[in-house]
Amino acid sequence: MDEDLPEQSKLPELKLDAKQAQGFLSFFRTLPHEGRAVRFFDRREYFTAHGENATFIAKTYYRTTTVLRQLGSGSDAISSVSVSKNMFETIARDILLETMDHTIELYEGSSANWRLVKSGSPGNLGSFEDVLFANHEMQDSPVTVALLPTIGENGCTVGLGFIDLTKRVIGLTEFLDDSHFTNVESALVGLGCKECLLPMDIAKSSEWKALQDALSRCGVMVTERKKSEYKGRDLVQDLGRLVKGSIQPVHDLVSRFELAPAALGSLLTYAELLSEDSNYGKYTVKHYSLDSYMRLDSAAMRALNVMESKTDANKHFSLFGLMNKTCTAGMGKRLLHMWLKQPLLDVNEINSRLDLVQAFVEDTELRQDLRQHLKRISDIERLSCNLQKKRAGLQHVVKLYQSSIRLSYIRSALERYDGHYSALIKERFSEPLEFWTGNDRLQKFIALVETSVDLDQLDKGEYMISSGYDSKLLELKDEQESLECQIQSLHKQTASDLDLPVDKGLKLDKGTQFGHVFRITKKEEQKIRKKLTTQFIVLETRKDGVKFTNSKLKRLGGQYQKILEEYRNCQKELVQRVVQISGTFTEVFESLATLLSELDVLLGFAELASNCPTPYTRPEISPSDVGDIILEGSRHPCVEAQDWVNFIPNDCRLVRGKSWFQIITGPNMGGKSTFIRQVGVNILMAQVGSFLPCDKASISVRDCIFARVGAGDCQLRGVSTFMQEMLETAAILNGSTDKSLIIIDELGRGTSTYDGFGLAWAICEHIVQEIKAPTLFATHFHELTSLAQENASGEPLTKQIIGVANYHVSAHIDSSSRKLTMLYKVVPGACDQSFGIHVAEFANFPESVVSLARLKAAELEDFSPATIIKNDPTEEVGLKRSREFFDNDDVCQAVSLALRIVFVVAAFEVVGEKDGQSQEATADLKAYEAMMFPHSCSFEICEV
């Protein structure tokens, strides 16, 4: 067992005697049951957890219950587990930052006396921030949201309040929502919500299942609160204490909403903001408008790989990982996170970000210079937050100082720039920097630190107030030095009296037990024993020598200790005072943090655009109701960044009335998904303000990206996959408009071919005719391509359908070797043949199956447009063809056999992967098989 468990060797021993255990158990039993709380008990060198928590930790983090020990005896015993400090940090990070389904409590004490010292939840990390970010940067600031939905005449209205405790922002909004809670989902995604408060009845009721599903799709922790906590009555008064500046705008904002004030009220109670006066006057209140940013739901975030995931093999798998070229500690990364969740809609705002990026792309020297300086900037935002929450010490003040003195270099680098965008750089950075770093602001802080802190001691790792800062401290320091001199001369005098060399013979020690003492080796003691016994007091005789003193040393040492004590107390008081004064500069630091993190992210965009093997280009941006979406020579930035990929660029021309709706066909593995996702990713990047991996790009701003991709990639989830697919599609049909972008991949794969095709056709028609959103629709239903067929006179086959164009990803088959080569080139027109059998051949199908499949396929009509046009255009062409296809028993058998073989091969892979869970996997597979092949006999998993 030990070898399997890396942490096992570090498992601390649970050392409690029977009495201690008894005392602890009596306390532990008094704790109220809280299913979500994981409680830890600090035992100084290690931590422990008990009962259900112990089992949870053993199973989740140690992956074995053998680490469990029993505390107490007989029926009173409870399971317990010990956790090292490192392991505690790992568990806390996982619970609060990754899985986000528990809260953590930390208790300190002994025997039967314990008290709660820290508690944290995913939305409110509280004092666990120290543990979580002691060795890691804080990359994302958690946000807690409270929702209050209600059904009225117009449908469902949702009141929303939120708090970002790191940025000290409180916000509220209210909106109508559809039955899928599309708006709730985009608000949670946009805000980066980690925890959501819901009234208890709503969190439990099956009537609100759709809302609960929306929350679960976003992966937020739901915290149930009593309905009585949803009170907005005293909200303005409460906010009056928390906000900086005038309360009137807050009053005006709050009075615009009916439900949101109550939601926000519950949040203020939950976060206990009013109970700490360090929060007073520190918050800003804002209206979060859903219409200010591009809306993205959780499916789109996943489809476009916007955020990094734990399973990413390398950081370039996600857009965040790829675009994160920030230099500051934490602040830049948090802003990038926010920007990626809130792409802009305003053309001018997008263009001004692009202007700044262009300035930094064009002036490499300026960019490199600024980035060098930013590398030395600490997380000013968090440091200043800690100062305010009185969690800071002199080290934090010094860190702020060290960052502050670099700002003059950043300012002068920016001022040297005289390129095309100098006015903008001046307005956005140089002038605000000049203001905040001026004599009345940052310079005052710099002067405070330079006069108060002993900066010379920093090299030794000591953070102290310089004695010159305070007359009392100076006096104490002088006295201390004078006493030190007297002790030194006594040392010399005594050495000469004893006829011993100073230091080498007679040492002067300073310890906690005796204070100042003389020490000699045992050998020397023999030489001076007589003098020692008559003139000195021997304190201790040990292997390392004999310690002794005399009345003079005792007196001087005593005085020295007293002065030292006074000096330390004085230092402590002064440190508190300096930290407190530094806390009055938070407005300066917050403003500087905003400026610097923005500069950091924009410089990162410029760095990415310039340093890619094929440089990025600046997109042209037009409002959402004009212009087309044209990407020439575009690439998927994350796929392109993988070492093993030689990426083939493609053009995408979404032109209104011509190719606003594109059907993409082509062989499996041909690059369809990559292509449609890369269009979404490029648009998102543009609206965030980044250059694009394209040769040329123009983009009509999109207010929303809807994506339904990927369900086909997790086929083994069976029926739920289809349900998921339908839910996501329903959200698209409900929420999208002509200003959105829709990306759909492999729709209708999770059900029968007839149903799937029927749904796909109907959805396409609805999007083209009703929604009119630019759409990329990748499909294996070749029959869908007839949506775009035109008859000989150029009229669309189906009269009303205009603006549909066919594209396909090309592949080459060598006629002699029958070798299939993917060209990854997206070209106009429908795919004129199916490559399924070639792909099966690639997958090492048995030759007999491939030959039979070839034979039977040859008997079928081909997929060419010409053949399709031959059919009656008024009849559903594809349906007819697919019915013919499945009426043919032989083909049906061949296809079924082929599918079953793929399936059984996959079954073995999965069973192999799901080590130890083969029964479960087999059950999954059988359920899947029953769905896919309802009329055929069941497969057996056997040795191949």
Ligand X SMILES: Nc1ncnc2c1ncn2[C@@H]1O[C@H](COP(=O)(O)OP(=O)(O)OP(=O)(O)O)[C@@H](O)[C@H]1O
How many residues touch ligand X under the rule CB under 6 A: the total is 14
Using CB under 6 A as the binding rule, the residues of this chain from 365 to 404 that contact ligand X are: none
- Minimum distance between the CB of residue 647 and ligand X, rounded to whole angstroms? 4
Distance CA 495, CA 505 (A): 8
Among 671, 756, 758, 803, binds ligand X (CB under 6 A): 671
Site string for ligand X, 786-815 (x = CB under 6 A): -----------------------x------
Distance CA 34, CA 102 (A): 10
Using CB under 6 A as the binding rule, the residues of this chain from 817 to 876 that contact ligand X are: 824
Helix pair 889-913, 877-887: axis angle to 10 deg: 90
Among 112, 247, 539, 669, binds ligand X (CB under 6 A): 669
Amino acid at 739: K
Closest CB to ligand X among 328 and 775?
775
Among 173, 582, 668, 775, binds ligand X (CB under 6 A): 668
- Minimum distance between the CB of residue 635 and ligand X, rounded to whole angstroms? 7
Residue nearest to ligand X (CB): 671
- Minimum distance between the CB of residue 757 and ligand X, rounded to whole angstroms? 16
Q: CA Rg, the chain, in Å? A: 35
- Minimum distance between the CB of residue 300 and ligand X, rounded to whole angstroms? 17
Q: What are phi and psi of 178, to 5 degrees?
A: -90, -175
- Nearest Cα neighbor of 297 from 183, 216, 213, 197 is 183
Closest CB to ligand X among 371 and 825?
825
- Minimum distance between the CB of residue 410 and ligand X, rounded to whole angstroms? 40
Distance CA 410, CA 430 (A): 9
Which residue carries 């939840």 as its tokens? 121
Q: Please provide the DSSP assignment of 182-232 as one string.
A: HHHHHHHHHHTEEEEEEEHHHHH-GGGHHHHHHHHHTTPEEEEE-GGG---
Closest CB to ligand X among 370 and 805?
805
Amino acid at 308: E
- Minimum distance between the CB of residue 670 and ligand X, rounded to whole angstroms? 4
Q: Which helix (H) or strand (E) holds 325?
A: none
Measured in residues, the chain has a length of 944
Based on the shown chain and the rule CB under 6 A, indicate whether residue 279 belongs to the binding site for ligand X.
no
Could you tell me which residues are beta bridge partners of residue 155?
152
**49 burial type by CB count under 10 A (0-12 exposed, 13-18 middle, 19+ buried):** buried
Judge contact between 173 and 263, C-beta under 8 A: no
Distance CA 502, CA 552 (A): 18
Closest CB to ligand X among 319 and 809?
809
- Token pair of 546 as six digits: 């004999």
Among 79, 186, 673, 736, binds ligand X (CB under 6 A): 673
Helix pair 672-688, 331-341: axis angle to 10 deg: 110
- Minimum distance between the CB of residue 845 and ligand X, rounded to whole angstroms? 16
- Minimum distance between the CB of residue 745 and ligand X, rounded to whole angstroms? 7
Q: Which range of residues in 44-52, 99-107, 443-451, 668-676 is near ligand X by CB under 6 A?
A: 668-676
Q: Which range of residues in 459-467, 556-564, 670-678, 720-728 is near ligand X by CB under 6 A?
A: 670-678
Sign of CA dihedral 770, 775, 781, 782: positive
Closest CB to ligand X among 72 and 750?
750
Among 79, 378, 384, 674, binds ligand X (CB under 6 A): 674
- Minimum distance between the CB of residue 732 and ligand X, rounded to whole angstroms? 19
Q: Which residues contact 118 (CB under 8 A, 6 or more apart)?
A: 104, 105, 106, 126, 127, 128
- Minimum distance between the CB of residue 257 and ligand X, rounded to whole angstroms? 44
Closest CB to ligand X among 42 and 783?
783
3-class secondary structure for 109-174? EECCEEEEEEEEECCECHHHHHHHCCCCCCCCCCEEEEEEEEEECCEEEEEEEEEECCCCEEEEEE
Could you tell me which residues are beta bridge partners of residue 511?
515
Cα separation of the two ends of the chain: 32
- Nearest Cα neighbor of 673 from 711, 641, 643 is 711
- Token pair of 579 as six digits: 């930290």
Site string for ligand X, 554-593 (x = CB under 6 A): ----------------------------------------
Among 39, 672, 749, 881, binds ligand X (CB under 6 A): 672
Sign of CA dihedral 607, 608, 614, 616: negative
- Token pair of 99 as six digits: 């899985």
Site string for ligand X, 476-515 (x = CB under 6 A): ----------------------------------------
Judge contact between 921 and 718, C-beta under 8 A: no
Among 149, 232, 670, 689, binds ligand X (CB under 6 A): 670
Closest CB to ligand X among 645 and 849?
645
Closest CB to ligand X among 669 and 932?
669
Q: Which range of residues in 131-139, 671-679, 719-727, 769-777 is near ligand X by CB under 6 A?
A: 671-679
Q: Which range of residues in 123-131, 209-217, 351-359, 672-680 is near ligand X by CB under 6 A?
A: 672-680
Closest CB to ligand X among 671 and 689?
671
- Minimum distance between the CB of residue 80 and ligand X, rounded to whole angstroms? 48
Q: Which helix (H) or strand (E) holds 23?
A: helix 18-28
- Minimum distance between the CB of residue 240 and ligand X, rounded to whole angstroms? 55
Closest CB to ligand X among 215 and 764?
764
Site string for ligand X, 586-625 (x = CB under 6 A): ----------------------------------------
Distance CA 362, CA 438 (A): 30
Using CB under 6 A as the binding rule, the residues of this chain from 625 to 664 that contact ligand X are: 639, 645, 647-648, 650
- Minimum distance between the CB of residue 866 and ligand X, rounded to whole angstroms? 24
Q: Which range of residues in 370-378, 442-450, 569-577, 665-673 is near ligand X by CB under 6 A?
A: 665-673
Q: Please provide the DSSP assignment of 576-587 as one string.
A: HHHHHHHHTTHH
- Minimum distance between the CB of residue 659 and ligand X, rounded to whole angstroms? 19
- Minimum distance between the CB of residue 668 and ligand X, rounded to whole angstroms? 3
- Minimum distance between the CB of residue 666 and ligand X, rounded to whole angstroms? 6
Q: Which range of residues in 511-519, 625-633, 667-675, 689-697 is near ligand X by CB under 6 A?
A: 667-675
Judge contact between 538 and 547, C-beta under 8 A: yes
Helix, strand and coil percent figures for the chain, each rounded to 5: 50, 20, 30
Distance CA 670, CA 831 (A): 11
- Minimum distance between the CB of residue 650 and ligand X, rounded to whole angstroms? 6
Q: What are phi and psi of 430, to 5 degrees?
A: -60, -50
Residues that bind ligand X (CB under 6 A): 639, 645, 647-648, 650, 668-674, 809, 824
